[in-house]
Homo-oligomer: A and B are copies of this chain.
């Protein structure tokens, strides 16, 4: 099934929907796994008739972040992960499996105004590490 939603989303956000960008965006829209650039490259390259370059993957991801189509998530040093869930939310890392779960903003108290008037908070992110009770949630 072809999926016009990715191309449409890109257009809305002012990003020209090239095949490479569409296919990467599609992949992120259809996963909850917070993949790295490498994982995205791996997953996506055979959906294009031409060779896909590392540079294009990184260029595209940077463009998507810039345009607000996806979020960059940092749960570990060394590499960024990407997330098509752009709502305000936080992350839980299962230390056993490495799986990353979304924690909606509503589950944690609003922290913007906790710090007093010395610190003007633009945004913040919370990363939780721990174990998840029933492990069958990928």
| Interface residues, chain A, with chain B CB atoms under 8 Å away | 72, 74, 76-80, 92, 95, 101, 103, 107-109, 111, 114-134
Instruction: Select which of B107, B120, B126 is within 8 A of A130 by beta carbon.
Output: B120
A74 to chain B: which residues have CB within 8 Å? 74, 76-77
- The answer to whether A107 touches B118 (Cβ under 8 A) is no
- The answer to whether A123 touches B129 (Cβ under 8 A) is yes
Copies held by the complex? 2
Q: Which residue of B lies closest to A126 (CB)?
A: B126
Q: Which residue of B lies closest to A128 (CB)?
A: B124
A107 to B113, CA, bound (A): 10
A-B pairs with beta carbons under 8 Å apart, 11 shown: A72-B77, A74-B74, A77-B80, A92-B115, A103-B115, A103-B119, A109-B111, A111-B126, A120-B131, A121-B129, A123-B129
- The answer to whether B108 touches A111 (Cβ under 8 A) is yes
A80 to chain B: which residues have CB within 8 Å? 77
Min Cβ gap A38→B in Å is 14
A129 to chain B: which residues have CB within 8 Å? 121-124
User: Given that A77-B80, A80-B77 are contacting pairs, would A115 and B133 also be in contact in the complex, using a CB cutoff of 8 Å?
Assistant: no
